[in-house]
Structure 1
Amino acid sequence: MKDWAAPLIGAALFAFLSPGLIFQLPGKHRPVDFLNMKTSIPSMLLHTVIYGLLLILFFVILDVHLYA
């Protein structure tokens, strides 16, 4: 059996945490912008930190596995 948790969770977080897709922290004109499809360097850096912290949460702390 192969553990599919890492590629599925990693790909889903990467897609949903892309700056500007669902939300953008920090926004251009507000602290949080929603669905604006624009990005900036500070926003990319903050989303990278959030992505890394969520990966650590799922794989190190919660030890999530999905076998198929």
Structure 2
Amino acid sequence: MADWGPVVIAVVLFVLLTPGLLCQIPGSGRAVEFGNLRTSGLSIFIHTILFFGFITIFLIAIGVHIYTG
């Protein structure tokens, strides 16, 4: 049996937290901008910290598992 939980959670968080795709924190003109498809070094850093924080919560603290087979 394969555990697909970490893979699914990582892909979903990667898509949701891609800077500039859905939102960008901090934005170029405001604190939060939505759907501007631009990015900066600071927003990449903030989104990376958020990604690792959320993936740690979901995989280690909560322990999400999806088994197949």
State the TM bucket, normalised to the shorter chain: over 0.9
TM-score, length basis structure 2: 0.96
Which residue of the partner structure matches residue 17 of structure 2? 17
Q: In structure 2, give the amino acid aligned to 1:45.
A: F
Q: State the 1:12 CA deviation.
A: 1.1
Aligned residues: 68
Question: Counting strand residues as a fraction of each chain, which structure ranks higher?
Answer: 2
User: Which runs of 5 or more structure 1 residues have no equivalent in the other structure?
Assistant: none
Q: State the 1:11 CA deviation.
A: 1.0
Q: CA RMSD in A?
A: 0.5
Q: Identical aligned pairs, as a percentage?
A: 38
User: Which runs of 5 or more structure 2 residues have no equivalent in the other structure?
Assistant: none
- 1:39 matched to 2:36? The reply is no
Which residue of the partner structure matches residue 66 of structure 1? 66
Q: In structure 2, give the amino acid aligned to 1:40.
A: S
